[in-house]
Structure 1
C-alpha cells in the first residue's frame, strides 16, 4: 500500500508543473553517444512522449558523433576536431548526412513504436537551419556551419498535429551548400526561435560540478552571471563550456530556463521538470 501511496504523491507533486507548462514548448538535445544506448534511448523517448501527452510541445535535437566517426574510419578517414568541432571536408560531410539521416529516421520510428507520434525533420531537406560557413579562430573547418536563422514553420506545423519533431543538425546555405552544425548550438537556436519554456541538454555527467571529480558538488541552480564567472575561473571546463554557453545564449534570446542534466539517469527529463528538487543544474536569468 505504501508503494501505491508514494506513486500518488509523485503525481500530485507533478501536477502544478504540468499545469504551468501546458501549451509551452521544450527543446531537448541528446548527444549521439547517448542515443546509442538502448536503455537510455527508451527512457529519454518515453519522457518526451509523456511531455506531449500532458500538453507540452517537445522538440528533440540529436547528434550522431560516434556513428559518424566509425563510418569515417571505415572509409579510411581520420576524425579531426578543433575545440570540439568536427573538421568537415566534402567526403566527411557526405558521411555526416548519411549517418544523421539514419539516426533521424531510427529515433522517429522508435517513438512511434513506443506509442508516440513523431516525424524526422532534416535541417537540409526541411530547410529548418539556415547557415553560413563558420570562421573559427582563423582555422579552416571545412563545411562546419554557423547558424544564421531558424525556420520554425515546419516545427510549429508538427505541434498542430501533436507530432514530435525529431531534428538532425544539418544546415543549408543560401546557395544550397550543406553545413555540419554543432548539435548544442542547433538546440540553443531552435529553442530561442520558438521562445521555448525550456532547453534541456542531456549529458553524461550529473550537471555542473564545482569539482568535476566529486558528484556531490553538483550545483542545482546558476544565474547567467554565475555561470559566466565559473567559466572564467576554469571551474566549468572542456566539453561543458559549449553546453553552458549554448544555455546562456538561449536564455539571452528569450528561453525561460535551461537545464543541463545526466541523461544516463532513468527518466531524467521528467525528474528535472516535474519534481521540486530536480536532478541536474538549471541555469536561469
Structure 2
C-alpha cells in the first residue's frame, strides 16, 4: 500500500512537471535565439548550493536556445579580502572608492577567484551537454574600455556641489563585442561568456567598474532581449517598503530624484535606465538568492522582482 502511494505521488509530480513545461512553451519561443544578459551578484554568490542552482539554470537557458551572457560582481568577496589585508573601504552612492591597494585586490578577486569559479560551475553543470563557461575580464581582447568615473555631491547645508574623486573607478566608454559574438555564435560549441567588471583606460590603467553598469553596457551593445539584475533583495521598493512590480524609466528616475532609492539601488536603477535607453527591451531587478528566480521571471506569467521598461509612446 505504501509502495502504491509512492508510485501515485511520483506519477502526479510527473504530470505536474509536464503541465509546467507546456505552459512555459510560449515564453520559450519568445526568447528563442535571443541574448539575455545576467548580472550575478550580492551575498548569494558566496553560497555553494545557490551557485550550483544558478549554474544549472544558466545551462538550461543555453539548451533552450537562449544565449546567456553573465556579468558578475564580487563586493562581499572584495570586502572580505580587503579586511584580511587591513585595507578600509569607503562608498559613495553605492560605489567603492578605489585606491591603488584596493584596485590590486579587486582585480585579483574579480578576475581571478570569483570569475573562474562561476565559469567552472557552469562548465560542471553543463558537462553532459558540453555547455562551457568562459571566464573573461573587460581587459581581455579590449572588451571594455573605460574612462574615469566621477560623482557630484551636494552639501546639504550649503547646497554647494563638489566633484568627488572615486579613484580607480571607471565608466564603460566602449564595449567591443567581437569576442562575445564569436563565443555566442560558435556553431560547434555552446559557450557562455562570464565577465568580470574590470576594464582598461586608453592609457593602459586598470579600473574597477560597478558590475551593474558593466551588465547594462554589455546588454545595450548586444541588443539583449532582457537584462536580469540578480541581487540580494526582492526588487525595487516604494516609500512604504512595498515591492514595485513594474515601472517605466521615467518612474525610475523619479525614485532617484525623490530620494526613495538610496545606496546600491541608485546604480542599479541608473543601469536599468541606461540599458533600456540603449535598446534593451526590459530590465528586471530580482532576488538571486531564491532558487530558479531567472526561470520564474522568463518562463512564467507571474514574473519575479521589478521590471523596468521604456515609457509608452
TM range (shorter): over 0.9
Aligned equivalent of 1:150: 175
| Corresponding position: 1:203 with 2:218 | no
- C-alpha change, 1:59 and 1:15, in structure 2 (3 Å) is same
Q: Within 2, Cα distance between the matches of 1:187 and 1:170?
A: 12
| Corresponding position: 1:99 with 2:109 | yes
| Corresponding position: 1:170 with 2:198 | yes
Aligned equivalent of 1:23: 33
SS of residue paired to 1:231? helix
Match of 1:132 among 147, 160, 163: 147
User: What 5-or-longer segments of structure 2 have no aligned partner?
Assistant: 1-10, 153-162
**TM-score when scaled to structure 2?**
0.86
Q: CA deviation at 1:211?
A: 4.8
Q: CA deviation at 1:60?
A: 0.5
Q: CA deviation at 1:32?
A: 4.7
Cα deviation digits, residues 162-211 of structure 1 (max 9, x gap): 20000000011111111000000000000000010000001212112225
Q: Within 2, Cα distance between the matches of 1:120 and 1:273?
A: 24
- C-alpha change, 1:105 and 1:212, in structure 2 (3 Å) is farther
Aligned equivalent of 1:180: 208
Verify the 8 A CA contact 1:13 1:276 in the aligned structure 2: no
Q: Within 1, Cα distance between the matches of 2:228 and 2:172?
A: 19
Q: Within 2, Cα distance between the matches of 1:134 and 1:219?
A: 30
Q: Within 2, Cα distance between the matches of 1:121 and 1:212?
A: 40
SS of residue paired to 1:207? coil
| Corresponding position: 1:261 with 2:261 | no
SS of residue paired to 2:244? coil
Q: Within 2, Cα distance between the matches of 1:180 and 1:49?
A: 28
User: What 5-or-longer segments of structure 1 have no aligned partner?
Assistant: none
Verify the 8 A CA contact 1:43 1:267 in the aligned structure 2: yes
| Corresponding position: 1:232 with 2:257 | yes
Aligned equivalent of 2:155: none
| Corresponding position: 1:78 with 2:93 | no
Q: CA deviation at 1:81?
A: 1.4
Compute the RMSD of aligned alpha carbons: 1.5
- C-alpha change, 1:232 and 1:279, in structure 2 (3 Å) is same
Q: Within 1, Cα distance between the matches of 2:260 and 2:91?
A: 23
* Deviation larger for 178-187 or 62-71: 62-71
Verify the 8 A CA contact 1:147 1:186 in the aligned structure 2: yes
SS of residue paired to 1:265? coil
**TM-score when scaled to structure 1?**
0.94
Cα deviation digits, residues 92-145 of structure 1 (max 9, x gap): 111111101211111111111112311101111332110011122212211111
